[in-house]
Each structure stands twice: as C-alpha cells, then as structure tokens.
Homo-oligomer: A and B are copies of this chain.
C-alpha cells in the first residue's frame, strides 16, 4: 500500500510499504476514506534529523473497516468509522474519567506501536475503544464537506474543544484564542458552542481570521508580542482575558498567554509545547493566581456528542480544510501547510 513517510526536515515521501495485518486479536484493519496533515506534523517537518528509514506519519482518519480481530466485539467489517488521534481501550479507570490520552493500554500512531494514518490502509489497535461508528452515512456518496467535518473530529476540532473545556469556557467569560491555525479556529468554534460571547482571536492571516469571525470571534488582534498583549489588555479594560486558549505550542505564544491572562484566569494549552521549561513564577503565573492546564485532547471522550452535532448540521468544523489532494501528493500537502498557502489539507487515497 501507499503510506507517507518523513525522512528528515522537509523530506516527506509517499512510499510503497507492506499492507498492515492484524497483530493483536483486538485490532481492526481499515481502508482510508480521508486522512490529513496536522499542524503538529509540521514540527518534525521543521527540525527532524535526516534518517535512513522514514518515520511513519499521520494520526487522523476516517475509514471503512475491512477486517477485525477475533476479540473485537462491537466494531464490524463495513462500518464507516472515525479514528481519534490516539488509541485507547475506553474501558479503564482513566478512560472512564475522560482521560483517554492517558489510557495505560493506549498509545499514539506513527510510533513503534502503531503506524501512521496517512496511508491507504491502517491497523487500529484496541478497535472497540478506538473507533467510533458514523451511522447511516455512505462514505462513497457523502458530500465532501460532510466527510471533512467527520475527519475534523479525529483531532483538530476536538483538540480545540479540549482547550475550551479545560479552560472552563462559559457564558460571561472573555476568551482569547492565540493562533489562527486550524486548532485555534476550532477553539473559537468550540468556545462559541460553550457559550462564550466575547472571543478575541489573535492571528495575522486575514483569510483565516475571517473563518474565526464566522465561527464566533468578536475581535481580531493581528499584532503579536508586547504589542499584541497591549492590544488585548486595552480590549479588556486593562484586566486581561479570563480564559486564554493557546493553540500554537511555541514559546512566544505562551509568553503572550501569560501576558494577557486575567488574575484568577486560566491558560489552556493544546498546541504541543516545543519547549520544556517556561516562566511560571511570581511574574508570570503565580502572582496573578493564574492557572495553566491542557494537554493531548482525549478526543474519544468528546467524539459522540460532537458527531451528533455534525450530523444535525449544528456545527461545520470541516471548514478548516481548504485544500484536498490525493494521498500520493502528501509531500505537496506538507509544503502547502508549511508555507501557509493552505490551512489544513485533506488527503484522499
């Protein structure tokens, strides 16, 4: 089958690799309907050292089940499914608490445990816990915009939702979203769903912030750093923002976050931090009694209810996909996202 591999920074190739097989009796094999490239895939695209054997890429997928292992009970051949970006048993204590990305039996794609999902076929571990069936939709005849919204539930929209959820977004609170990438825009949409009335979107790309405004952003701040902080402070009567959703992962975004968070407020991060240490002392978080939260989204916890919203036409999170390419053109998808000519690229085998 065809699969996307990264051989080093800027070096993505679609190679022919062996088809996956059932390894464990709880696995499923699925045939990809749509996959896509994530903002987090761009981090190794910028700095991964060159290697002889490519790294298997991708962790977002909608697919049709081809085969299930003998211990798979609920997922069946022919099911049209969404795969959350992490796999999990969805039955353990952590999963029952909505901490599926910390499931002790779970893991991530593109690792030795499970190949990446930018491929024609995929092996899904713990299939009963890791796949969610899309009912009553034929993937071969469904509208592409609907497929895009299903695919967004694999990661991007529900990562934005996780930011808002962990930030305790609620009516009456001012929410500032840092980053106009696909996750930031999703965080705007999710914040609106959770009742936020004032949503400040910090982003510099007009075509992107326009979608943010469509989804509920009430203010757009296109400046950054100290200037951006001053602008948000001015918009909030000098108080700062009750909730800051940081959807980038780079240090300047975090610095903006603690610069604008209101005393007693919360910074919720979902951009994978590209740093380990950062300011959290008296001058940044402590003096303000500000909280810091966030992490890898337990997409599985939120998936059914968001799927219902998509099926009912209440939300259209698939609008973050502004380019669709054949899987074979995955390298061009990375280039387009890296150069910001595309917001998020869908791949079709």
**Partner of A292 from B277, B283, B291 at Cβ < 8 Å:** B291
Which residues of chain A (93-140) have a CB below 8 Å from chain B?
94, 97-99, 101-102
Q: Does A294 contact B (CB under 8 A)?
A: yes
**A288: B residues at CB distance < 8 A:** 102, 295
Q: Is the CB of A295 within 8 A of B284?
A: no
- Chain B residue at smallest Cβ distance from A93: B239
Select the stretch in A58-66, A143-151, A226-234, A267-275 that faces chain B: A267-275
Q: Is the CB of B294 within 8 A of A264?
A: no
Q: Does A287 contact B (CB under 8 A)?
A: yes
Q: Is the CB of A285 within 8 A of B295?
A: yes
Given contacts A99-B263, A281-B278, contact A294 B298 (CB under 8 A): no
Q: How far is the CA of A33 from the CA of B4 in the complex (A)?
A: 74
**A48: B residues at CB distance < 8 A:** none
Give A288-324 as 1s and 0s: 1 = Cβ < 8 Å from B's Cβ atoms.
Answer: 1111111110100000000000000000000000000
Q: Is the CB of B273 within 8 A of A276?
A: no
Given contacts A102-B289, A280-B278, A282-B276, contact A264 B94 (CB under 8 A): yes
**A293: B residues at CB distance < 8 A:** 289-292
Q: How far is the CA of A306 from the CA of B276 in the complex (A)?
A: 39
**Partner of A295 from B272, B273, B290 at Cβ < 8 Å:** B290
Q: Is the CB of B295 within 8 A of A287?
A: yes
Q: Is the CB of B280 within 8 A of A280?
A: yes
**A279: B residues at CB distance < 8 A:** 276-277
**A286: B residues at CB distance < 8 A:** 269, 272-273, 294-296
Q: Is the CB of A263 within 8 A of B294?
A: no
**Partner of A264 from B97, B272, B283 at Cβ < 8 Å:** B97
Which residues of chain A (138-167) have a CB below 8 Å from chain B?
166
Given contacts A286-B295, A298-B289, contact A273 B281 (CB under 8 A): yes
Please, could you name 28 A-B residue pairs with CB atoms under 8 Å apart, sorted by A? Answer: A94-B263, A97-B264, A98-B264, A99-B264, A99-B289, A102-B289, A166-B289, A273-B280, A273-B282, A273-B286, A276-B280, A276-B281, A277-B277, A277-B278, A277-B280, A277-B281, A278-B278, A278-B280, A280-B292, A285-B292, A286-B295, A286-B296, A287-B296, A289-B295, A290-B295, A291-B291, A291-B292, A291-B293
Task: Identify the A interface with B (CB < 8 A).
Answer: 94, 97-99, 101-102, 166, 263-264, 269, 272-273, 275-296, 298
Further pairs besides A287-B296, A290-B295: 18, Cβ < 8 Å: A97-B264, A98-B264, A102-B289, A166-B289, A273-B286, A276-B279, A276-B281, A276-B282, A276-B283, A277-B277, A277-B281, A280-B280, A285-B295, A286-B296, A289-B296, A289-B298, A291-B293, A292-B293
